[in-house]
Amino acid sequence: MTNSPEDDSSNTLRFMARAAASGSWLPDHQAHVLYTVAYVDSTIGELGSVLHDYLAKDPLKLIPRFTPTHEDVVLAGIDPLPQSVPRLFADALNQSRNMLEHALFAEVAHRAGRSLTEKESKALEIPAAKSPDAFQQWCKHPNRRSLALFGYGAELTNRLDRIQPYQRTDNANHPLRLLVEFTNHAKHREPAVAFTRVGRVDVGTPSQAPRSAEHQEVVKIGEVLASAPRGSRVEVSIWPQVMVQRPHTGEWRTLMHEVRHIEDWVRRMALPILIEGRTDLPVVPPHLNIRQGYADVAEAWAAAGTVAAADRNIYRMTAEGLRRSIADMLVDETGEGVRATAEEWLRGQSDEEVTALSEPVGRAAARRDLETVGRLTDEWRVALGLRPRRDDS
């Protein structure tokens, strides 16, 4: 006898007791999930490190070009993208799909109460149906029907139904559809199609609107990215953007955003629904050192960090941007001679400490509280061994 969807939520007390005792809601036959989540996270972490080092070297090659009236900034070239990038991207998604397949197999094997035949085992895959009819055809396959677990209204059928692409009107953008399209492409054709392009362009003049990172038109080598009258001083910020192409639509998306979006959905939505039929559970923690062994899943869960690799990468890059901004502010106030000292001091601050230094100044500047801005930047000066600015007057 199978449970209805309502029966999935009737076991709340059992799940709460398990979580309270171990911190993990994963049943023993699904303990593998925690370790594969960690492996995916470490792969995305490596991907983030490669991209960080690549972007830190300013892959966009820019040159000035003078006309009788203007100075232009021209794109002269783009450094080639490291080939580990598309392969790490593909590896992370392949392992994410494998994890869903393994979870389904473990759930079926646990419920079947018998050994599965070879044909039944090979028939266990996560469907990514574009319509309810296609999903029903998947359920009716003889090698799945023999398991008596995928009938109409059955618990596993309902769970799989909830994560299908047809549950969204724009099913081409559903995370499971993306996962399947990317992994099929990587399996049969190539790891991924990725490239670096000019992303956002900010020009500090009212007459020239910023070029958004979402702008889909690819800039060609030799194209003018920004222009200003000769003799004027205009701040220009030009940001590179590493993109990946969706195989089924041809759209280009920011690569790290794409892998982050899919990984997050698998971990927060697909796995809890597939394993327990609910999502109101503690999120599976992603960051775990699986180079060492753990006595059980409870010990591993307790040792795991809760911040995913893609988010850690964002925090790191944000903090590095803040370090540059703080150093520039101190140089503007004190002179170029303080830059080396300021940069050394900021390198000694953790990402969290740099963020804590910057956020109050940003809030005060947003409300035009110049007195608070001055007091806080004076604290930076004191930390560098300089006199507070008010003492200079």
174-212: per-residue pLDDT in tens?
Answer: 999 999 999 999 988 888 888 888 887 777 654 444 455
Domain boundary at 289, 306, 323, which?
A: 306
- Read off the pLDDT of residues 249-287 as tens digits, 9 standing for 90 and up: 999 999 999 999 999 999 999 999 999 999 999 999 999
Give pLDDT, residue 389.
67
Residue type, 131: S
Domain extent for 91: 5-45+86-188+256-306
Give pLDDT, residue 91.
97
**pTM for this structure?**
0.81
Give pLDDT, residue 199.
81
Give pLDDT, residue 6.
38
Q: Answer yes or no: do 268 and 374 share one domain.
A: no
Q: Answer yes or no: do 170 and 282 share one domain.
A: yes
**64 pairs with which residues across the strands?**
73
Q: Answer yes or no: do 140 and 155 share one domain.
A: yes
Q: At what angle do helices 255-265 and 309-334 cross, to 10 degrees?
A: 140
Q: For residues 88 and 43, is the Cβ–Cβ distance under 8 A?
A: yes
Instruction: Please report which helix (H) or strand (E) contains residue 356, including its range.
Output: helix 351-366
Q: Answer yes or no: do 371 and 271 share one domain.
A: no
Q: Answer yes or no: do 282 and 323 share one domain.
A: no
Residue numbers in the chain where pLDDT is lower than 50: 1-22, 206-210, 213-215, 393
Q: Answer yes or no: do 289 and 315 share one domain.
A: no
Query: Is 65 within a domain?
Result: no
**Interatomic CA distance for residues 56 and 50, integer angstroms:** 10
Which residue, 244, 270, 196, is CA-closest to 86? 244
DSSP symbol at 1: -
Query: Is 250 within a domain?
Result: no
Provide the domain count of the chain. 2
Q: Answer yes or no: do 183 and 319 share one domain.
A: no
Q: Answer yes or no: do 276 and 327 share one domain.
A: no
Distance, C-alpha 29 to centroid of its chain:
28
Domain boundary at 285, 306, 327, which?
A: 306
Give pLDDT, residue 15.
40
Q: For residues 238 and 226, is the Cβ–Cβ distance under 8 A?
A: yes
Give pLDDT, residue 12.
40
Q: Answer yes or no: do 180 and 314 share one domain.
A: no
Q: Answer yes or no: do 287 and 319 share one domain.
A: no
Query: Is 293 within a domain?
Result: yes
Domain boundary at 306, 326, 344, which?
A: 306
